[in-house]
Amino acid sequence: MIPLIDLGAQQARIRDKIDAGISRVLDHGMYIMGPEITAIETRLAAAADSRHCISCASGTDALMLALLAKGLKPGEGVIVPSFTFAASAEVMPALGAMPVFAEVDATSFNLDPAGLPAALSAARAAGITVVGIIGVGLFGQPADYESINSFAAAEGLWVIDDAAQSFGASWQGNKVGTLASITCTSFFPAKPLGCYGDGGAVFTNDDTEADIMRSCRIHGMGKTRYEYERIGMTARLDAMQAVILDAKLDIFDEELVMRQQVADRYAARLADSVGVPVLADGATSSWAQYTIKLRPGTDREMVMETLREHGVPSAVYYPIPMHRQPPYSRYPVSDDGLQVTAALCEQVLSLPMHPYLDAATQDQIAVALAASLEKATAG
């Protein structure tokens, strides 16, 4: 079976540095908030063109820290796409607040700026005060934050970029990390920049928000250890994961180029038979996933089954929109009905994607997909 994501080839390149880094941590014994954390935060901030990087324990914690910095209050609403991973919406209810589900664009899979007024009016009709927007850079391409930010500014809302999948990408030459007032990312192993466990980070240029997030990731700590300024959480990145990230960051830019080459090869081989991902003018993607759209009426289960028989794994991100998930069914949904979201949930299919996917393997995947599509559309 071809792997969906192959972390082995990458590890072979950086294993020596990882081994040396882990030995160093074992020798000095500062497992929590040691020198590796300061060093990786400095490197990550530079990589994202941001004044502050606050590392943390996961992408979900990064979102939670961002909402704490924004002072989200119980009962308030935050607009978020319904076509996303649960974490983008999960953090609002955790603070007693509410996600307000909005429509995505059929081409980019990201929050559709044109759908924001409908989401806002649905929330207002339900008596909910909307205070912010969380956009998501789904599958690696950033959302159109130029348009999202200008809508938000006109309505007095803040904007957070959930860049769990899009760290490393850019929009009109501006890096992810600078596109919204706070950017959150995940270092889950399968992410474009992943560690070997859970990890995440938050980026901002705002000194006050950075201070709040640094405090909140250590229980709301004040200037000294057992003095608390606010209610926080335990959300630190550990030194071992910082070592992994440090090694991976050395080759990250090169891997982004390799991911783009893989995406280009897929597009050349598949564009005639399925909808291939399209980048907006001036956008780059970190290609966390390579997600195709099957033509309406294609039996996706049969495509997946036939691909599997040919040794090709595939995955559906995501089969059910967030607003149709039972725990989220009581939250407001945009007036426009989220038809694009519903259609995408039925059509999308993600293929193997990682920087080390070679042309011959992609040929094999293309042949398997052609055979699968033939079978799935025959009847």
Interface with ligand PLP (CB under 6 A): 58-60, 84-85, 87-88, 136, 162, 164-165, 186, 188, 198, 200
Nearer to ligand PLP, 318 or 362 (CB): 318
Using CA of residue 97, residue 202, residue 285, residue 18, what is the dihedral sign?
negative
CB of 114 to ligand PLP, least distance (A): 21
Nearer to ligand PLP, 65 or 368 (CB): 65
Question: From the CB of residue 230, how many other CB atoms can be counted at a distance below 10 Å?
Answer: 12
Residue 305 DSSP SS3: helix
Rounded to 5 degrees, φ, ψ at 225 are: -60, -45
Nearer to ligand PLP, 77 or 200 (CB): 200
Measured from each CB, the residue nearest to ligand PLP is 59
Dihedral angle over CA of 27, 33, 39, 42, nearest 10 = 180
Whether the CB-CB separation of 169 and 140 falls below 8 Å is answered with: yes
Rounded to 5 degrees, φ, ψ at 89 are: -105, -20
Query: Whose CA is closest to 144, among 192, 107, 96, 91?
Result: 107
CB of 38 to ligand PLP, least distance (A): 21
Query: Whose CA is closest to 308, among 377, 365, 355?
Result: 365
Measured between alpha carbons, how far is 9 from 12 in angstroms, rounded to an integer?
A: 5
CB of 48 to ligand PLP, least distance (A): 16
Nearer to ligand PLP, 198 or 336 (CB): 198
Whether the CB-CB separation of 208 and 182 falls below 8 Å is answered with: no
CB of 185 to ligand PLP, least distance (A): 8
Nearer to ligand PLP, 164 or 303 (CB): 164
**Summary count for the chain: helices (H), strands (E):** 12, 12
Nearer to ligand PLP, 62 or 368 (CB): 62
Whether the CB-CB separation of 219 and 233 falls below 8 Å is answered with: yes
Instruction: Provide the H-helix boundaries in the chain.
Output: 8-28, 35-47, 59-70, 87-94, 116-125, 145-155, 207-216, 239-250, 252-270, 300-309, 339-347, 359-378
CB of 58 to ligand PLP, least distance (A): 3
Query: Between 87-94 and 59-70, two packed helices, what is the crossing angle to 10 degrees?
Result: 50
Nearer to ligand PLP, 162 or 209 (CB): 162
Measured between alpha carbons, how far is 133 from 180 in angstroms, rounded to an integer?
A: 10
Where does residue 280 rank: exposed (0-12), middle (13-18), buried (19+ CB within 10 A)? middle
CB of 231 to ligand PLP, least distance (A): 21
CB of 170 to ligand PLP, least distance (A): 18
Nearer to ligand PLP, 60 or 298 (CB): 60
CB of 287 to ligand PLP, least distance (A): 14
CB of 166 to ligand PLP, least distance (A): 8
CB of 345 to ligand PLP, least distance (A): 15
Nearer to ligand PLP, 135 or 366 (CB): 135
Nearer to ligand PLP, 25 or 138 (CB): 138
